[in-house]
A and B are shown apart, each in its own frame.
Chain A
């Protein structure tokens, strides 16, 4: 058994211990315990990454997958069985690093943020559960293992969103998150069934091998059988992507993500910004060879959905006033970037730039978005409100947070030399080479990104005077809250300098990333314009923004109402599913089916009541019947004897 399994087992242990005994016996120790286990996992991940990337990962100049742990968990048939194991390849190692690192930061941050919370131990046990599930997801060797941990991250996300369970909005949000992602998981499950049926295996390596080899009978079978004119392979891949889209909050399955901000802010940083929401991207990346080689049509769907979601979310983000919701929409937008980067990518070599860029963006985004959320957490902690209008002029009170937030905003806006620039740059390059329309939408979206991020930044830290009544008693927070912000701020600045293409590519062969400054000019210019607009509108206390908003009128309002997607969902679920399906089903059952059964009972009763009248208890009636009966029998006998 490889020591790698400890990466998974340690958080799991922490979950079990804090979950069962934390509340009673451990109390505040639960936080320390969880943090320690995550730290250990992080250390192991780092050593693994070092070993894999620099020591033994490469075979003949190419990174190959390793399977240090693999055991059969449940056998369906001799071919199909769920194996649980650990898969080590470039993206999983990268994800291990990201998950353990961000999780560690959030754990440390929560030590201060969640202090005094009644269910402190429960909180940490849920965090550990999430870390465990997410790690299990990224190292999955088997598509069913992915599904298992997929569901588990879903439920831990549900538990953490609904952590403040006495708040009705939190309960509703947690429910919504779970059900929407569950709906998407249905697609994932169906996709698994289709893919595994034709490939005859649930192992990623077999699925990829069998579906990318154009001569394999499996691929032939999957392509030749079709449903509604679309081949089974396309169905499978698109359905799997639907699962991924649900988790990654792609349009139209994104509705849960803004609401999910009801959870504690560190949770949002960990789950709804850095790790869980990129699971969909990771899933597509995991099956990327199949998409890219055998079914470009499905990949095109990924690209379109990605770029649309990205632009859509950026537009809405410009109008939101809840700090966390803005961040949520920006997350959605950035994940859209990653998705369409995958969508525009090819397999192997230079064509695989999009894939590399997507993973790179995933990596950098995790860092700066986690930072943004942690900063937002500090701000919320300080003013006890999520609304932008309650903030303003916080620069003096929160100097460190101010700097950190600024760095993160620069990173997300793609200003060189911050990390976001490098990853976004490559995404745009890949899009440019693949599809011009996607490229232009993406560039505009990038400009919008810097606009709404700096709108947020200025509204929080500059605009207006500091709200005195909100003068908080605890200043900028404990050192445990500040340290992660500082570390992440360094990360946001420096992560872009990593030669990512050397490590993570679609085919395992290193790729030299090159920055073409001529090409970069346009995005940088657009981003800077966005920042300037933000300065113009939001730096000082003025009503320019309101004037602009009123000019746009209905467009602004519909954007602010999130384009009425929630209302549509409400309509579909309440009106159609509840009123048109569930209620008739319940009625049908109560009246028709049960009524039918009851009618049988009633009929029997009526029949027996009728006959029971004969059972009158009257001796004369009985004897009369007796005589009549005897006579009848007599006649029958006589007739039979031919005497009559």
Chain B
């Protein structure tokens, strides 16, 4: 399995990261923006794990970081969705462009 070099993992995660970034910039709906963020987080997770596995296999720190990131992502998603739903109830929309009351 070592036939796959580390760099390939990293390329995949980078690609995923920028796919997420692209989604984050182009999406107007907040839920889809949230999805893009999930993709970004996942690409980071892949990095952590890959570095752990290829460069420092003696410890499991990358793995643990991934675990914690997943936990925190869950919390973040929950809070974000609560906010989105609340916003929907007050504004009947979850488009990010419409949520501009803090401006001006």
Contact = CB atoms under 8 A, between A and B. Distances in A.
B100 interface: yes
- How many chain B residues sit at the interface, stated as a range, is 10 to 19
Contacts of A623: 24-25
A620 B96 contact: yes
Contacts of B25: 620, 623-624
Contact of A617 (B21, B24, B100): B100
A617 B97 CA distance: 9
Nearest to A617: B103
A620 B24 contact: yes
A576 interface: no
Interface string A602-639: 00000000000000111110011001000000000000
B102 interface: yes
Range of interface residues on chain A? under 10
Contact of A618 (B24, B97, B104): B97
A378 to B, nearest CB: 83
Contact of A627 (B21, B100, B104): B21
Nearest to A624: B25
Contacts of B100: 617-618
Contacts of B21: 627
A627 to B, nearest CB: 7
B102 A617 contact: yes
A624 B23 CA distance: 11
Interface in B78-104: 96-97, 100, 102-104
A618 B102 contact: no
B23 to A, nearest CB: 10
Given A624-B25, A627-B21, A619 B103 contact: no
B31 to A, nearest CB: 14
A618 B21 CA distance: 15
Contacts of B104: 617
Contacts of B33: 620
B60 to A, nearest CB: 30
Nearest to A619: B96
Contacts of A617: 100, 102-104
A623 B40 CA distance: 14
Contacts of A619: 96
A617 B99 CA distance: 9
A620 B102 CA distance: 15
Nearest to A615: B103
A635 to B, nearest CB: 16
A582 B76 CA distance: 73
A618 B97 CA distance: 7
Q: Sort A-B residue pairs by CB-CB distance and give the 3 closest, nearest first.
A: A617-B103, A620-B25, A624-B25
14 contacts: A616-B103, A617-B100, A617-B102, A617-B104, A618-B96, A618-B97, A618-B100, A619-B96, A620-B25, A620-B33, A623-B24, A623-B25, A624-B25, A627-B21
Given A617-B102, A623-B25, 6 more contacts: A616-B103, A617-B100, A618-B97, A618-B100, A624-B25, A627-B21
